[in-house]
Chain A
Amino acid sequence: MIAPRHGLMLLAPLALVLAGFFLLPVLMMLPMSFREYAPGTGIVPGVWTLENYTRIVTDDYYREVIWRTLGLGLFVTLACLLLGYPLAFLIARGPERWRVPLILLVIFPMMLNLVVRSFGWIALLSNRGLVNNLLIQLGLIATPLKLMFNLTGLMIGLTHIYLPFMVLMLVAAIRNVPRDVEAAAATLGSSRLHVFAAVTLPLSAPGILAGSILVFVLTISALVTPRMLGGPTYKVMATLIYDEYMQLLDWPSGSALSFALTAMAIGVIWLSSRLTKRWAGMA
């Protein structure tokens, strides 16, 4: 224990910075989201409206972008799980001498600049990119495949970017599965596949859930990769917010969309923590 007075002195500088440059700015967006915006002239003085919020759920275009964002989150999460599990399993259970090199090969792309990685995917996936060039040279296709500015491009790019987070979560979860329980199941006559399906997989479920929530929330919030691989036309919520602010200068609508996106992210996290608590209660 140290004196509360000293504790406050240690904590206050950070608390002030976060209050002034995080909480206050976010809260000040709230009134903005109820203002009315007239294209060309700007914010209409003295008018308060709910329309920025109602439009999010009634306008077909906005609805399409929201469903696309959520669908993308779901697909990317599933892809990260499917690709990440075997790799995490090898890192957790494979030969000891492979562990550190493999983890470094997972961390390296994770630490690499997002813009650089997305740029790499553009070089691979664009119409004159490496993948299309190769397929045409091999005579497999005559005209370039459309791999960018659509769901395919965003799926590939975002899966690449969030896969390392999933792998690291899964490694921790798989390493926490007690080997004795697996050995017991094997001794009692279970096949290797059955031991995996009945023991290892369920016992690593908390890690699967934590990794999935992380990847889902990061995917629905992503701006850079969707902008670079989706182009100006294939929009998700974050790129829509970007355009509302930077191109249309419609801050009220952008603020309302920001709160909608925040609510979705926090909602998913809240739901998952409820789920985890319920599981823990059953165990």
Chain B
Amino acid sequence: MTSASDSDDRPGSAVTMAAFAVIVFLQIPVIVVVLAAFSTTSYLTIPPQGLTLAWFAKVLSDPSYLSAIRMSLILACGSTVISLVLGVAAAYALFRKALPGSEAITSVLMAPLVLPAVVIGVALLQYYSLTGLRGSLFGLLMAHVVITVPYIVRSALASLSGLDLAVEEAARVLGANGFEAFRLVTLPLILPGLVAGALFAFITSLDNVPVTIFLISANQTTLPVLIFSSVEMGIDPSVAAVSTLLIAATGIILLIAERRFGFHRFV
């Protein structure tokens, strides 16, 4: 009886088919970009006219792509690390209710997520023009910290909320000082959540165009901004090749995070 009703409220075949159609829709542009990267023609045809790796060779020997990739990685790694240090410290203070008005503080920390990215971009453009920070690595790094830190704070607060404070108190009783108790007991417990947050922060920085595009200088650009401006000037299959490299990197990072930490639970 129960097993019959269980299978009864499973999604019907119409719902299942609609859902799979949507899954296909979500993957279509990804598949198209990958196909385009291996195609000998500059415009895609079905079936593909020929296969080549030439576009990958072109990308990997192009100094402007290589320097953009380097710049993107510097910004993403740097802003993720800075955001982790600043964000986890702040989240910990909020969790331990060290200060009054923690709800108001939390919403201020989340504010960069609410404001349209383009508005943050133009605000920083004006500010950096006045202060001379425009085109500087420091300015770009701080801009990326502003847009990545809410993800860290949110994941740190979420991980901490499930934490039993008694374990930290136990470490204190056994002789650990405050920082040791945090590092040896609390940090390992919240680590999976922090990794998920750090991954989101890293990808957010790596992806960002609407803030970065206003702040870069002529001689230093990031990979997505370079792809963005290349597409504006006309499509070249090397754009598909560099995009395919990004797709592969994203897929690999996602699979490792899933295997290691069960990433889907933190989304």
Residues of A within 8 A of B (CB): 1-4, 6-8, 10-11, 13-15, 17-18, 20-22, 24-26, 28-29, 32, 83-84, 86-87, 89-91, 93-95, 100, 102-109, 111-124, 126, 128-130, 133-134, 137, 160, 163-164, 168, 179, 182-183, 186, 192, 195, 217, 220-221, 223-224, 227-228, 238, 241-242, 245-246, 251, 254-255, 258-259, 261-262, 265-266, 269
Residues A130 and B32 in contact, CB atoms below 8 Å apart: yes
Contacts A11-B93, A111-B254, A113-B243; is A94 near B116 (CB within 8 Å)? no
For B250, give its contact among A1, A90, A111, A259 (CB under 8 Å): A111
Residues A112 and B247 in contact, CB atoms below 8 Å apart: yes
For residue B218, CB closer than 8 A to chain A, the reply is no
Give the chain A neighbours of B171 by CB distance below 8 A: none
For A104, give its contact among B43, B227, B264 (CB under 8 Å): B264
Complex Cα–Cα for A261 and B10 (A): 43
Contacts A1-B97, A28-B123, A129-B44; is A223 near B117 (CB within 8 Å)? yes
Contacts A8-B99, A29-B123, A241-B122; is A163 near B22 (CB within 8 Å)? yes
Give the chain B neighbours of A93 by CB distance below 8 A: 9-11
Residues B247 and A17 in contact, CB atoms below 8 Å apart: no
Q: Within the complex, what minimum Cβ distance (angstroms) separates B124 from chain A?
A: 5
For residue B8, CB closer than 8 A to chain A, the reply is yes
Stretch of B50-58, B104-112, B187-195 with 4 or more beta carbons under 8 angstroms from chain A: B104-112
Residues B90 and A15 in contact, CB atoms below 8 Å apart: yes
Residues B11 and A228 in contact, CB atoms below 8 Å apart: no
For residue B75, CB closer than 8 A to chain A, the reply is no
Give the chain B neighbours of A251 by CB distance below 8 A: 122, 126
Residues A113 and B224 in contact, CB atoms below 8 Å apart: yes
For residue B261, CB closer than 8 A to chain A, the reply is no
Residues B96 and A32 in contact, CB atoms below 8 Å apart: no
Residue of A nearest to B129 (CB): A251
Contacts A1-B96, A26-B120; is A116 near B87 (CB within 8 Å)? no
For residue B89, CB closer than 8 A to chain A, the reply is yes
Complex Cα–Cα for A168 and B26 (A): 14
Give the chain B neighbours of A112 by CB distance below 8 A: 30, 246-247, 250
For B26, give its contact among A109, A123, A124, A179 (CB under 8 Å): A109
For B29, give its contact among A14, A94, A117, A126 (CB under 8 Å): A117
Residues A224 and B15 in contact, CB atoms below 8 Å apart: no
Residues B231 and A90 in contact, CB atoms below 8 Å apart: no
Can you list 20 A-B pairs, Cβ within 8 angstroms, ordered by A? A7-B93, A10-B93, A10-B98, A14-B89, A29-B122, A86-B11, A90-B15, A93-B11, A108-B30, A112-B250, A113-B207, A119-B239, A120-B28, A121-B29, A122-B235, A129-B43, A183-B9, A245-B214, A254-B122, A258-B119
Q: Within the complex, what minimum Cβ distance (angstroms) separates B19 from chain A?
A: 4
**What's the A-B contact tally at a CB cutoff of 8 Å?**
285
Complex Cα–Cα for A10 and B26 (A): 41
Kindly list 15 other residue pairs between chains A and B, CB separation below 8 angstroms, not including A2-B96, A186-B8, A245-B122. Answer: A4-B99, A7-B98, A10-B92, A10-B93, A13-B85, A14-B153, A100-B264, A108-B250, A109-B26, A113-B224, A116-B224, A122-B235, A241-B118, A261-B119, A265-B115
Residues A269 and B114 in contact, CB atoms below 8 Å apart: yes
Residues A84 and B22 in contact, CB atoms below 8 Å apart: yes
Residues A224 and B210 in contact, CB atoms below 8 Å apart: yes
Contacts A1-B98, A119-B33; is A28 near B127 (CB within 8 Å)? yes
For residue B23, CB closer than 8 A to chain A, the reply is yes
Residues A111 and B15 in contact, CB atoms below 8 Å apart: no
Residues B210 and A223 in contact, CB atoms below 8 Å apart: yes
Contacts A4-B99, A21-B143, A192-B9; is A115 near B228 (CB within 8 Å)? yes
Give the chain B neighbours of A7 by CB distance below 8 A: 93, 96, 98-99
For A103, give its contact among B18, B32, B36, B267 (CB under 8 Å): B267
Residues B22 and A115 in contact, CB atoms below 8 Å apart: no
Residue of B nearest to A172 (CB): B267
Q: Within the complex, what minimum Cβ distance (angstroms) separates B194 from chain A?
A: 15
Q: Within the complex, what minimum Cβ distance (angstroms) separates A100 from chain B?
A: 6
Complex Cα–Cα for A153 and B49 (A): 26
Contacts A14-B86, A90-B19, A224-B209; is A113 near B109 (CB within 8 Å)? no
For A86, give its contact among B19, B46, B254 (CB under 8 Å): B19
Residue of B nearest to A137 (CB): B46
Residues A109 and B89 in contact, CB atoms below 8 Å apart: no
For residue B145, CB closer than 8 A to chain A, the reply is yes
Contacts A103-B267, A186-B5; is A116 near B33 (CB within 8 Å)? yes
